[in-house]
């Protein structure tokens, strides 16, 4: 298992994504974040299929910090049940991965 993960969520606005990114990085729950969008989403919600325009937020952290990052995203997110998913970073440059570790550990 990887020691690093890329965490994704989506928000209704760029401002909401930037707020989540800023809070996560300020608290050192993530070393960095990227906001992309708008993106088109197709989904099921409350028994109906829907579409919307959303902003994607990607955050980079360690597996040790993931539980705290997940809790922050769920608590601070404007939606009641946001998508929060993590995928392992299978490979990365040694210097980049070391930077993630140093950053989230507060060094």
DSSP 72-85: HHHHH-SSSS---E
Q: Read off the pLDDT of residues 16-64 as tens digits, 9 standing for 90 and up.
A: 999 999 999 999 999 999 999 999 999 998 999 999 999 999 999 999 9
pLDDT of 1 above 70:
no
pLDDT value for 91? 95
| Cβ contacts of 20 within 8 Å, gap of 6 or more | 9, 11, 33, 57, 73, 76, 77
Kindly indicate the confidence band of residue 107, based on its pLDDT and cuts at 50, 70 and 90.
Answer: confident
- Pair 88, 5: CB distance under 8 Å: yes
Architecture category of domain 4-104 in CATH = 2-Layer Sandwich (3.30)
Residue 38 neighbours by CB distance under 10 Å: 14
Higher pLDDT, 2 or 105: 105
Domain boundaries, the chain: 4-104
pLDDT value for 61? 98
């Amino acid at each position: 298992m990887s020691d690093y993960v890329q965490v994704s969520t989506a928000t209704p606005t760029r401002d909401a994504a930037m707020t989540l990114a800023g809070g996560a990085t300020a608290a050192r729950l993530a070393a960095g974040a990227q906001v992309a969008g708008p993106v088109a989403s197709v989904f099921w919600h409350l028994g109906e299929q829907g579409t919307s325009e959303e902003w994607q937020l990607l955050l980079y952290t360690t597996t040790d910090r993931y539980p705290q990052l997940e809790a922050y995203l769920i608590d601070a997110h404007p939606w009641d049940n946001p998508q929060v998913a993590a995928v392992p970073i299978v490979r990365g440059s040694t210097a980049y991965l070391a930077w993630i570790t140093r950053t989230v550990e507060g060094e």
